Amino acid sequence: MKYGVIVTARNEQDFIGDCIDSVLSQTIKPTFFIVIDDNSSDMTKEITRRRGVLVHTVKHDRSKIRGVNISKALSVGIIALYQHCPNFDFLLTIDSDTRIPKNYVEFLYAQWARPNTRRNKIELVSGIPREKVVSRSHVTNGARLYSRKAVDVFFPFPCRQGFDSYILYKIQANGMHAREYRIRYEDIRPYNVKYVYRWFLVGRCRYLQGFPFDWMILCFPRYSRFEPAFLGYQIMLWSWICHRFTGWRENEPVITFVNSWLKRQSAIKVRSALVKPFKILGIKEKIKDYLKYKPSL
């Protein structure tokens, strides 16, 4: 198994050391490991070099939106992976404030290699942050493991806020699936008020990507953050509503592919949500039995 690891960082001297150490301590060692430094002004580069990890500094016109800068840095990292390790099998992307357990890659690879996983065409897997609860089909961003097939499909991707969602939907729209598994990694950055603005931007991104309103409603039971519970979802939802009904729309084009695909998926999810209570209560089977054995009048 050959896999590359990409970490994007900017002024992460308080967290980057723990992140790198957790990668270097993996039971299956990475074939290629690079940290993409987004013009840090602190000790991020020095801490990375002291641990013997390749670091590359990117220089570009920075955006006020964090997701745009991260997506540009990740693109540089993937290009370097193709150049230095062209025969890689997997790509592991990790946030600079994330710490993974020693068996993280080994565990996810074991799950990926199972026959039922291959049969279900799962090409993107992840663990779960300690403080979050998510559904099995919602892979979190902190530490994702992509197959080579998935990387070839989604790269290159648009450098904009919500690029991680675009990657997920691009993979799913091409007939592949994603899943999270019950192995916990740690988000070592403490919760702070900056998350509020980030969630607001995510709500705006959801609107620009064409998320229907019913899709936003259906997100409620599948994602929550304990600090505080459901606040992130609520801010995203209200941000979506504000952009939809008040005309808050900047000069940023809607991604047509995501828009059309989401509308189709939304209809499927709504139908599934309506049918699920009947399946749980066995009402559908009871109706079938009644129609099959109902007395003739």
Residue 59 lies in a domain: yes
User: Which residue, 167, 187, 207, sits at the end of a domain?
Assistant: 187
Domain membership flag for residue 117: yes
Query: Both 176 and 63 in a single domain?
Result: yes
Shared-domain flag, residues 162 and 56: yes
Comparing 6-15, 131-140, 195-204, 224-233, the range with the smallest average pLDDT is: 224-233
Q: What is the pLDDT of residue 170?
A: 86
Rounded average pLDDT over 148-156: 93
CB atoms within 10 A of CB 177: 15
Q: Are residues 243 and 153 in the same domain?
A: no
What total number of domains does the chain contain?
2
| Structure confidence at residue 266 as a pLDDT band (50, 70, 90) | low
Chain segment 29-50, per-residue pLDDT in tens? 999 999 999 888 899 999 999 9
Q: At 281, which amino acid appears?
A: L
pLDDT band at 224 (very low <50, low <70, confident <90, very high): very low
Q: How far apart are CA 29 and CA 54, in angstroms?
A: 15
Residue showing tokens 């890689």: 88
Examine the pLDDT at 297 and tell me if it is beyond 50. Answer: no
Question: Does 50 fall in a domain?
Answer: yes
Task: Please say if the pLDDT value at position 179 is more than 80.
Answer: yes
Classify residue 120: in a domain, yes or no: yes
77 and 108 inside one domain: yes
The overall average pLDDT reported for the chain is: 78
In terms of residue numbers, what domain contains 47? 3-187
**Whole-number pLDDT of residue 288:** 57
pLDDT at 151: 95
Q: Which of 127, 159, 187 is the last residue of a domain?
A: 187
- Residues 6 or more apart whose Cβ sits within 8 Å of residue 22: 98, 99, 100, 101, 102, 104
Assign residue 173 the CATH number of its domain.
Answer: 3.90.550.10
Shared-domain flag, residues 125 and 34? yes
Question: What pLDDT score does 283 carry?
Answer: 53
Does 297 reside within a domain?
no
Mean pLDDT of 221-238: 58
Q: Are 200 and 178 part of one and the same domain?
A: no
For the segment 267-295, what is each residue's pLDDT rounded down to a tens digit? 666 666 566 555 545 555 555 555 555 44
Contact between 73 and 39 under an 8 Å Cβ cutoff? The reply is: no
- The reply to whether 225 and 126 lie within a common domain is no
CA distance 161 to 56: 22
